[in-house]
Each structure stands twice: as C-alpha cells, then as structure tokens.
Structure 1
Amino acid sequence: MPRNKEFDYSEKLITARDLFWKKGYNATTMNDLVDAMEINRSSLYLAYGNKHNLFLEALTNYMQQKDRQYGQAAKKSDEPLEAVKNIIYSVCESALRDNNCLFTNSIFELALSDQEVCRLLKAQTLKAVALFEKLLKQAKENGTLQSNKDPLALAHFLVSGLVSIYNTHILFADKKLTRQTAEMLIGSISQ
C-alpha cells in the first residue's frame, strides 16, 4: 500500500485560497483544487474536509491577512485620522495590485446563500468597523476630525466604501478612477 506524501498544510491552504480568490467558490471544482494543490483527493478530504470546509479555512486565512494589512497601515501614523487614510490607501494599492478581493467576491457570491460564510464576513466587517470607529473617536477627541458625523455610522460607511474601491477596479480596470474612488472616500470623512 503506497504511503501518502507529506505536505505543508498551510502552503496548500494558501494555494487553495488563491484559487478560490481567482475563480470564486462555485467555479472552483474539486478537480481544480486537487490539480492546483498537487495532492490526491483523499489527502485533500482527510486534511481539510470537504470543499466548503476548505473554503471557510481559506477565507479565514485571507481575512487574517487583511487584518495584518490594516494593522500595518494604521501603525504608519500615530495620528488616528492619518491611520484611517493609510488603511484606505492600503486597500486601494491592494486593489490595483491584486485586481480583486476574496472577501469582496465572497460577499457577492455567497453571503446571501451561505450562512457560515455570511457569519464570517459579517464578523470580519464588524472587526474593521470597530477599528475605524476607534480611530475616528480618537480623531474627534484630539480635534483632527471636525465632522459631526457619528463615528460608528461613518466607520460602517468607510468599510462599505472599501468594497467600492475593489468594485471600481474590477469593473473598469482604470487605475486613475480607482485612486479617485479612494480619494473621494477619504474626502467623505470630513464633509
């Protein structure tokens, strides 16, 4: 009986994540996953469960990557309002570099039909909202944000606006327009 080849669980998860990111959940077949991950079907099932479980792990991995991205962007400035802007600019650069977003794709493809995916996406959105709200409250307290807008409502708006940056780039592939979308989002903070 042949022995199953050992493989790096995390490395193969990233391969699956990138495939789901490129093709979407529904268009990615088990054969696609087996071929891309270069493992046999039984090893895939043993290690990750079914396609849905693998997707949930891949989406979680992607969202952890986005958490790190937002945290690093925010830390580039001690000024909270600049930290908010840095996050938005970071998302814009990701859209220009990556051309799409697994999180955004999953919202439109699965959030209405898959409760587990919706729960993950909602939790991640609320985490981003909490980060923005905290920064906006700090900016109000230190006087750099003069707006009368409710920080929580503004945080929700800004996080929703991050999706619009990807949406604009996916639909139009126009770098100037994508950057303008990010600038308009930033401009909405103080209006």
Structure 2
Amino acid sequence: MPRNKEFDYDKKLKTARDIFWKKGYNATTMNDLVDAMQINRSSLYLAYGNKHDLFLKSLTNYIQKKDKQYSQAAKKSEEPLEAVKNIIYSVFESALQDNNCLFTNSVFELAPTDKEVSKLLTKQTLKAVGLFEKLLKQAKENGTLQSDKDPLALAHFLVSGLVSIYNTHILFADRKLTKQTTDILIESIP
C-alpha cells in the first residue's frame, strides 16, 4: 500500500519557488532544494519530478501569484487608466518588497535556451499585454487616454517596462531611483 504524502505539496512548492527566486535556476542544486524543502530526494522526485519539472511548477506558481497581483491592483479603480497605473505601482511595491523577480530572472537566464520556460514566459507576457490593451482601449473609448498610439503597441511597451522597475531596484537598491523609473513609465502613457 502506498504511503500518503506527509507534507503540504503547495507549501513545499512555494519553498522551492523561493529558492529558485533567490538563487536562479542554474545556481540551485538538488541538495539546496532537498535541504530547503525538508523532504527526502525520492519524495521530491515522486511529487515534483526532476529539477526542471520542479522549476516549471515553481515558475507557474509564481506566474499565478503575479496574475493575482495584477488583477487585485486593477480592481482598485473602475477607471481603466487608473487601473493600468495601479498595476504599474503594484510592480514598484513588489520590487521594493521582494527585491527580485523570478519572472524577470527567468527571462534572462533561461528563456533564450529553454523552450518550455520561454513558452510559459511568452504566454504570461501576452496575458499581461492583453490586460493592459483591454484597459487602454477602454480608456481611449471613455476619453481618458488621448493618444494616437496603438493600444496594443502601448501595452507591449508598458509590460516590457515593468522589467525596468525590477532591473533598476535589483541593480541599484535605490528606492528613489526605482520610484523615478516607475513614474517615468507611467508618464509615458499619453
């Protein structure tokens, strides 16, 4: 008779996610994961698969966290342009609080060489672009966005600009500079 899992799958997945988040994929060893998750190696393999499988699950978990963050930030205002700004400010707050971003790290560390990671990141980016585009179109329709710029192109620009917020804070750890970067991104919305 198989043994029941003696651990909380989601809690251990969050622990793995945080290790990958701090160290990156390549610098994280299976020993790091076993030690941090406090489960034996065979249980780790049985529950999560190999290191790459565990990373994909961790990245998916992180993406779900970001989806929730963006959705909650957008819902803080019924005005679509303010919703866009709220999402951008939520990224600023995350950068200050977390001092890192698993998504951003994965774009630079793995996306160029790992098709599965690239596919996950591309899908999430397009989802964020879709959210921004929808809000920008609504803002254009209600007259609060007065721009001749294509909402889709502007959405792509803004989503790619979110990385600059993390990049600035990770490299310089300067709250004022990170806030200025955030404000400039928001000011780029005509």
What TM-score comes out, normalization by structure 2 length?
A: 0.98
Distance 1:99 1:148 in 2: 35
- 1:10 & 1:96 partners in 2: Cα distance? 25
Mapped partners of 1:5, 1:48: distance in 2: 12
- The residue aligned with 2:15 is 15
Distance 2:49 2:72 in 1: 33
Task: Write the distance in 1 (CA, Å) between the matches of 2:75 and 2:162.
Answer: 18
For 2:61 and 2:36, the matched residues in 1 are separated by 17
Answer yes or no: is 1:153 the counterpart of 2:132. no
* Deviation of the 1:107 alpha carbon: 0.3
Report sequence identity in percent: 83
Segments of 4+ moved more than 6 angstroms: none
Return the letter of the residue paired with 1:27.
A
Other-structure match for 1:42? 42
Matches for 1:155-174 after TM superposition, within 5 Å: 155-174=155-174
Deviation string 1:44-88 (CA, Å, 9 cap, x unpaired) is 000001000000000000000000000000000000000000000
Q: Name the residue aligned to 1:130.
A: 130
Tell me the amino acid that sits aligned with residue 31 of structure 1: N
Deviations 1:146-169 (A, max 9, x none): 011100000000000000000000
State the partner residue of 2:83.
Answer: 83
Q: Secondary structure at the match of 1:189?
A: coil
Query: Counterpart in 1 of 2:142?
Result: 142
Match of residue 69 from structure 1: 69
Whether 2:181 is the aligned partner of 1:181: answer yes
User: Any conservation in 2 of the 1:169–1:175 contact (CA below 8 Å)?
Assistant: yes
Whole-angstrom distance in 2 between the partners of 1:98 and 1:42: 31
Q: Following TM superposition, by how much is the alpha carbon of 1:5 offset from its aligned partner in structure 2, in angstroms? A: 6.2
Unaligned runs of at least 5 residues, structure 2: none
Q: How many residue pairs are counted as aligned between the two chains?
A: 188
User: How far apart are the structure 2 equivalents of 1:118 and 1:6?
Assistant: 33
Indicate conservation of the 8 Å contact 1:17/1:59, yes or no. Answer: yes
Give the AA of the match of 1:181.
T
Question: What does the per-residue CA deviation read over 1:15-42, in whole Å, with 9 as the maximum and x for residues that have no partner?
Answer: 0000000000000000000000000000
CA RMSD for the aligned pairs?
Answer: 0.9
CA distance in 1, matches of 2:52, 2:102: 15
Q: Which amino acid aligns with 2:34?
A: V
**What SS does structure 2 have at the residue aligned with 1:162?**
helix
Instruction: For residue 10 of structure 1, report the CA deviation from its aligned partner.
Output: 0.5
Name the counterpart of 1:109. Answer: 109
Q: Give the letter for the 2:92 counterpart.
A: C
| Structure 1 unmatched ranges of 5 or more | none
Kept in 2: contact 1:59–1:103 (CA 8 A): yes
